[in-house]
């Protein structure tokens, strides 16, 4: 990276959306300044940089603002092409993008937003819907260490930050087991592989504190 490059990331410690960006920056070896935001008291800087959504993550590179985690990941990959994040093959790249949307839109909605508002019976129904969606990821992982093959990349960062290192902690907080070793052996093996990768381990929030945070976030959803 050229000496003139200045990189700043606005995020929240518990957010899978900013954590995945940190994973990408660490994979690329890009030095960056991290600015921790507070959910209930967003900084003037965040509101100025992202006035439309008022959300993290926000990446600032040499004064240019990049928003939305998927867009930021692709920007990082194109700006610093070493240690590629996205698959080089166009078809595999399209699949990675498709499944990343599945994770952040459908699995997130079923596994957290709807789950937080449901009663106990409704949660069981939603848990089964989540399993059906996660089964698509299970099938993608057959015969692979990671979604892209032998090295971590785009879909690993997206799915890893959201499902095992976020949603599962929310489910743990309400005593719900959605993903079992018996039904999802490939997924569980993949999570164990992720936990061995230093750049991923560095970006996984502490479990107990995160479980408490997910309970708090679920309460916010219920009261909204």
Beta carbons within 10 angstroms of residue 117's beta carbon: 14
User: Cα 151 to chain center, whole Å?
Assistant: 17
- DSSP-based helix, strand, coil % in the chain, nearest 5: 60, 10, 35
Are residues 116 and 74 part of one domain? no
Are residues 105 and 213 part of one domain? yes
Q: Is it the case that residue 121 has pLDDT exceeding 50?
A: yes
Q: Is it the case that residue 39 has pLDDT exceeding 80?
A: yes
Instruction: Report the percent of the chain where pLDDT is more than 90.
Output: 97
Q: Among 21, 45, 79, identify where a domain stops.
A: 79
Domain encompassing residue 64:
7-79
Whole-structure pTM value: 0.96
Does 85 fall in a domain? no
* Phi, psi of 146, deg, nearest 5: -135, 170
Number of domains in the chain: 2
Average pLDDT of span 71-83: 98
Are residues 59 and 107 part of one domain? no
Does 26 fall in a domain? yes
The per-residue pLDDT for range 132-149, each reduced to its tens digit, is: 999 999 999 999 999 999
Tell me the CATH number at 52: 3.40.30.10
Q: Is it the case that residue 1 has pLDDT exceeding 50?
A: no
The per-residue pLDDT for range 51-70, each reduced to its tens digit, is: 999 999 999 999 999 999 99
Q: Is it the case that residue 80 has pLDDT exceeding 70?
A: yes
Average pLDDT of span 150-156: 97
Does 212 fall in a domain? yes
Are residues 94 and 141 part of one domain? yes
Does 48 fall in a domain? yes
* Phi, psi of 165, deg, nearest 5: -105, 20
Does 96 fall in a domain? yes
Q: Among 55, 79, 103, identify where a domain stops.
A: 79
Are residues 128 and 194 part of one domain? yes
Mean residue pLDDT across the chain: 96
- For residue 224, name the pLDDT band (cuts at 50, 70, 90): confident
The per-residue pLDDT for range 14-38, each reduced to its tens digit, is: 999 999 999 999 999 999 999 999 9
- For residue 165, name the pLDDT band (cuts at 50, 70, 90): very high
Does 2 fall in a domain? no
Please give the pLDDT value at position 67. 98
Q: Is it the case that residue 3 has pLDDT exceeding 70?
A: no
Please give the pLDDT value at position 117. 95
Of 117, 137, 114, nearest to 126 by C-alpha is 114
Are residues 39 and 112 part of one domain? no
Q: Are strands 58-61 and 33-36 parallel, antiparallel or unpaired?
A: unpaired
Are residues 109 and 75 part of one domain? no
Beta carbons within 10 angstroms of residue 38's beta carbon: 9
Of 20, 170, 177, 159, nearest to 99 by C-alpha is 159
């Amino acid at each position: 990276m050229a000496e003139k490059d200045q990189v700043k990331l606005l995020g929240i410690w518990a957010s899978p959306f900013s954590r995945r960006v940190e994973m990408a920056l660490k994979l690329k070896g890009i030095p960056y300044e991290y600015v921790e935001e507070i959910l209930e008291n967003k900084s003037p800087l965040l509101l100025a940089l992202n006035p439309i959504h008022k959300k993290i993550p926000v990446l600032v590179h040499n004064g240019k603002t990049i928003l939305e985690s998927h867009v930021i990941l692709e920007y990082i990959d194109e700006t610093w092409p070493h240690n590629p994040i996205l698959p080089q093959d166009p078809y595999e790249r399209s699949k990675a993008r498709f499944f990343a949307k599945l994770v952040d839109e459908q699995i997130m909605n079923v596994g957290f937003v709807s789950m937080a508002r449901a009663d106990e019976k409704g949660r069981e129904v939603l848990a089964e819907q989540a399993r059906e969606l996660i089964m698509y990821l299970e099938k993608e992982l057959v015969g692979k260490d990671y979604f892209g093959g032998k090295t971590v990349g785009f879909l690993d960062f997206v799915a890893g930050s959201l499902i095992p290192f976020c949603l599962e902690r929310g489910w743990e907080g309400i005593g719900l087991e959605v993903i079992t070793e018996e039904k999802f052996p490939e997924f569980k093996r993949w999570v164990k592989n992720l936990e061995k990768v230093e750049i991923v381990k560095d970006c996984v929030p502490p479990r107990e504190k995160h479980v408490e945070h997910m309970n708090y976030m679920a309460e916010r959803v219920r009261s909204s």
